[in-house]
Structure 1
Amino acid sequence: MKILPAGVLKPGYFIAALFFLNCLLIYPQSEKEDLPNVVFILADDVGYADLGIDGGTVPTPNIDSLARMGMRFTDAHSPAALCAPSRFSLLTGSYPYRNGRPGGSWDINNSSGFSANGDRTNAGRHVTVAEIMQNAGYKTAFFGKMHLGGIVYDTLGNVITQKNKINSMEYSRGVDDGLNEHGFDYWLGLLSGIQHEPYAYFENGNYKPIDPENPATNESTRLLKDGFYKVSGNGLSEIVEAARVPARGDEDYDSSQAGIILSNGAVDFIDRHIQENEENGSEKPFLLYYSSQAIHVPHSPPFDFDGDPETIDEQVYGKTGAMTSDVLYELDLQVGKIMDKLKDEGILENTLIIFTSDNGALWPRITHYGNASHDNNGPLRDYKASIYEGGHRVPFIAKWGDGTEKGSVIKPGSISDQTIVGHDWVATMYELTAQNMEEDQAKDSSSLLPILTGKQSENDSLHEFILYQAGFARDGAIREGDLVLMVDRENEATELYDLSNDLGQDNNLIEKPEFQETIKRLKAKFLKYNDHDNDTVEPRTTKAFSIK
């Protein structure tokens, strides 16, 4: 069944021409009518103040340069305060609860999060941003950590539906209902992230052994227990989640090499895409969705980012004095590698690059940075998985241009205080490619394009309100302006904060008489959009984008 958004225009000149006319006043190369390439970079567990540009002490020069050449948002939020639920939203533009899995599709004993239907009365599915870009003529690719579900089989051919059965997976069957079925022409990923089984890479649904000489079957796997493994000679691999039962993975699996493998894959994709364009005499743009493993545990940086154990050309391990900050430094190297490739191919200026994180900063108990003064969360309260600001306020940077005002769509060095959600980039792609949005798609996403291009005033809010979700959707909140009302799992309003004068959320206003009517109104609005106890379809929180 082919599902396309209403009003989709065919790839080619008509989309390009329409976009050109719409952006004529701000496009840096007015004679060039093609759409930009798009690179979306998703960091893992990078907090509000982790980056150098935000006051962090760990060197992140490449990411910082994106901010200096583009726009940095100070009030950006991940869709949830934990990775798996956010990852569904960042690909669909809808809050995590929309597919009936507010806690996310953590492991591959779940079907794809895009096929799951959270609206109950709606027989459709969730269209991904990759499908939107394909409709506009883009080549699409995904690299990295997934947590998006999928269908895998045991050695008897049965679908695995229980977490404790994953070790019985038949690797030669690969994974079905994967990203190829949801808009990506190519993908290379870790199905359950760097920290969960299967500890192996899958390419377009097929098991891809790290040693290309090995068969893509269970013969190339083994059971791994907690602890360190010296595999490649270029780092120490660590397994941290298999304490109770050994977990199956590639016999050559090495967590310290994940960033090298994934970033090399991204560069190779750009190479192949350019070669295909040359062979076909076309200028087809691409979408590259790069989902880094950094800086999630295990914090196991490689010795050398170039991957050669004989020489240290780009030191990572020991660079900053602690493994957590070494991996943050490595994340920056991954970003730099992709940027360098774009620059070398002469396409950096006409590539829209977006950088953000899947949730807030890591908890202090597991973060040991080389510099004791490094504060990964600044003034914010609490950390990853929390409903407080520290759980979900994250870096968000967008760059499009050559770093000069004349040659950039996004003004270099600009800062926006607009309240946005990471999945707003999905609606941005609808507008960028001039496609109408169906009412039941991207239900919580607003296009950032007017903000990025300076056409919308900072005083004109992008969202009337936004919703917050804690780690596993146990607690939530609604934010309207600077007021945040927290609602617990019993649907009781418990805390109210005014972020305009209390960013650290120290002063709970819930008992103040002057706020009682506001609390009642905000609670009713929150429950209207979070009522999972009945069979009604929760309404959109944003207006569906349509071509004017």
Structure 2
Amino acid sequence: MSRTAQGLLALVTLGLALSAAADRPLPNVVFILADDVGYGDIGVYGGKVPTPNIDRLARQGMRFTDAHSPAALCAPSRFSLLTGSYPYRNGRAGGSWDINNSSGFSVNGDKTRAGRHITVGEVMQQAGYRTAFIGKMHLGGDVYDKRGRLIRDKAKLNTMDFSRGVGDTINQHGFDYSLGLQSGIQHEPYAYFENGRYVPVDPAKPADNSSTRLLHNGFYRVGTNGLSEIVEAKKIPARGDVDYDSSQAGIILSDGAVRFIDRHLAANRTRREQRPFLLYYASQAIHVPHTPPFDFDGDASTVDQPVLGVTGAMTSDVLYELDLQVGKIIAKLEAEGVADNTLIFFTSDNGALWPDVAKYGIAAHDNNGPLRGYKASIHEGGHRVPFIVKWGDGTESGSVIKPDTVSEQLIVGLDWVATLYELTRQNMQEDQAMDSTSLLPVLLGRQPPGKALREFVLYQAGAASVGAIREGDLVLVVDQHKQATELYDLSTDLAQQHNLVGESRWRDTVSRLRDKFLTYHDRDNTTFDEPRTTRAYRAAGHLPHLP
């Protein structure tokens, strides 16, 4: 059979699979993003800390072994996971970080056809979904002091007027509902914001500055169910809720996810047609501070779901708590009878924690397996992460994604964005989701054996000036001076111990890959005209373009 005929056959079979999936109503979608969880942290990837709920997701769905975060650091990955474009696409390759910076979706938006960076939330709203973002943001925004002056100096964030809330937040970029920590549990403001408005932990307290206080590095006993810690205030005190308790973050956020599902399904019961939802859940775990609660049900008077002390160390206790958060969300879906038609993704924002931070209570636990490097590194350990997808009841006959399958396809976490474009049959604009390719052919078992889903991917270290290009099994590292410094063949050297860049037989390959990298990633971040790295999805006209 010719290559053309093989390609046509693949398209036909993929079309049949999509038609079969289309016999179901559009699924709910839950995207769960862990923080600092490495390739070897989860049980099905070799981890020794108990993660039964996440392991069950893998057994009932598909696990990827060559998946990568868009960057080796939190904030840049978070922009990409919401837009389908690499971090450098908005001229802010290092990420937006805290709310003294403007929104990453608005910055340099005039350089795109749409005048902004379209998020996956907007894509799903266009398809009729109700959308929610719950958890850690690190996406920038606008906050003001008591005189109404915009704060852009991080040192002045503690002068923020909490009663004014946060502007240009995720609600202005595709999410009907939001609840979370604007900068996670490690940066101010140490408080929760719902739809951009400050919501005190104690609902009886006023949502203004009278319910806040200044916090310094150290421990705080603010409740009975754990010990709170502030780790990043340093010499400048940070402002937070008087009842802020880092040990309760996972409980508060996962409870918020359950409440959103409750409200959505209750609203659906009043409609003749069921409206699906997208829940983007960005857990605080397992980022520092590692302050697990005593009891995951929030009531330490009777410890029914112990967390602190379960694994023997606070780091691994928080990893265990992450699994409890996942389990709570899944249990809610199952209790409501919607789990079987919910497409669930699980991944991490970057690679494993550094050894001096990641002190696990189980000696045999290796959070990075054979990989070199950790969080912020350009090497595999900095960005190779767990990636699991489930859609179905976990049985062969009742699942769209064949259960207990493993894919060795090279993918990037942001590929879930193009997957949802294809799922909802929406055309992708040329200047949006510029680096995302749909996973549906793989998830539906229709990708031809041995055929790569992607021709190449780009990697970014924590320092945005250091990058790499991966083509097949070859990885070329390019430094801040645009020089090729390292070349590895992962097929024989997954641990990246043998640098081939200086060997004469690789000279032409090094030159070609370096040129290719620089074609797609302009280090000057001034032109915004780098070409797409993937093809824009075209749906043969089902739903219209986004405005």
- Shorter-chain TM-score: which interval? over 0.9
Calculate the TM-score normalised by the size of structure 2.
0.94
* Residue 162 (structure 1) aligns with: 153
Partner of 2:192: 201
Selected match of 1:540 from 523, 529, 532: 532
Counterpart code for 1:546? R
Q: How does 1:327-476 map to 2 (within 5 A)?
A: 327-476=318-467
* Distance apart, 1:91 and its partner CA: 0.2
State the AA in 2 paired with 1:236.
L
- Alpha-carbon deviation of 1:120? 4.3
> Percent sequence identity over matched residues?
70
Q: Which among 225, 233, 243 is matched to residue 242 of structure 1?
A: 233
For 1:107 and 1:42, locate their aligned partners in 2 and report how far apart those are by CA, in whole Å.
18
Partner of 2:518: 527
**What does 1:31-42 align with in structure 2 at a 5 Å threshold?**
32-42=23-33
**Structure 2 CA distance for aligned equivalents of residues 107 and 62 of structure 1:** 31
Post-superposition offset of 1:536: 5.2
- Say if 1:444 and 1:228 are closer, same or farther in 2 by CA, change over 3 A: same
The change in CA–CA distance for 1:117 and 1:293 in structure 2 (over 3 A counts) is same
- What is the aligned-residue RMSD (CA, Å)? 1.6
C-alpha spacing 1:536/1:206, structure 2 compared with 1 (3 Å):
closer
| 1:68 maps onto 2:72 in alignment | no
Please tell me whether residue 128 in structure 1 is matched to residue 119 in structure 2: yes
Per the alignment, residue 3 of structure 1 pairs with none
Change (3 A) 1:501 1:313: same
Is 1:518 matched with 2:521?
A: no
Q: Does the C-alpha gap of structure 1 residues 30 and 458 become closer, same or farther in structure 2, counting only changes over 3 Å?
A: closer
* Separation of aligned partners in 2, 1:196 and 1:458: 45
- Which residue matches 1:5? none
Deviations 1:188-240 (CA, angstroms, capped at 9, x unpaired):
01001111000000000100110101111111000011111111200000111
Letter in 1 for 2:204: E
Q: Distance in 2 between matches of 1:307 and 1:513?
A: 62
Structure 1, residues 462-483: CA drift from partner, whole Å, max 9, x if none? 1111000000302100011000
Gaps of 5+ in 1: 1-20
1:290-329 matches, within 5 Å, as 290-329=281-320
One-letter amino acid of the structure 2 residue matched with residue 198 of structure 1? P
Q: Distance in 2 between matches of 1:22 and 1:41?
A: 30
> 8 Å contact 1:172–1:207 — kept in the other structure?
yes
Deviation at 1:260, TM superposition (A): 0.3
Q: Distance in 1 between matches of 2:447 and 2:20?
A: 22
In structure 2, the CA distance between the partners of 1:458 and 1:243, relative to structure 1 (3 Å rule), is farther
Rate the CA distance shift 1:457–1:22 in 2: closer, same or farther, 3 A: closer
Q: Distance in 2 between matches of 1:523 and 1:119?
A: 29
Q: 1:497 aligns with which of 488, 491, 496?
A: 488
Q: Secondary structure at the match of 1:280?
A: coil
1:532 CA drift (Å):
3.7
221-230 or 118-127: bigger deviation: 118-127
Q: Which moved more, 1:421-430 or 1:401-410?
A: 401-410
Q: Distance in 2 between matches of 1:109 and 1:491?
A: 31
Change beyond 3 A, Cα 1:72–1:33? closer
- For residue 12 of structure 1, what is the aligned residue in structure 2? none
Q: 1:232 aligns with which of 223, 239, 247?
A: 223
Is the partner of 2:184 in helix, strand or coil? coil
The number of aligned residues is 528
Which structure 1 residue ranges, 4+ long, deviate > 2 Å from structure 2?
Answer: 21-33, 118-123, 532-536
Deviations 1:381-403 (A, max 9, x none): 01000000000000000000011
Contact 2:227 2:247 survives alignment (8 Å): yes
**Structure 2: runs of 5+ lacking an equivalent:** 1-11, 541-547
Residues 154-163 or 38-47, more deviating: 154-163
Residue matched to 2:7: none
Shift of 1:32: 4.8
Say which of 250, 253, 258 aligns to 2:249. Answer: 258
**Distance in 2 (alpha carbons) for counterparts of 1:150 and 1:439:** 26
TM-score by length of 1: 0.94
**Greater shift after overlay, 364-373 or 60-69?**
364-373
Cα deviations by residue, 1:39-61 (Å, 9 ceiling, x for unpaired) = 00000000000001111110000
Counterpart CA distance in 2 for 1:166 and 1:240 is 16
Does residue 1:283 correspond to 2:274, yes or no? yes
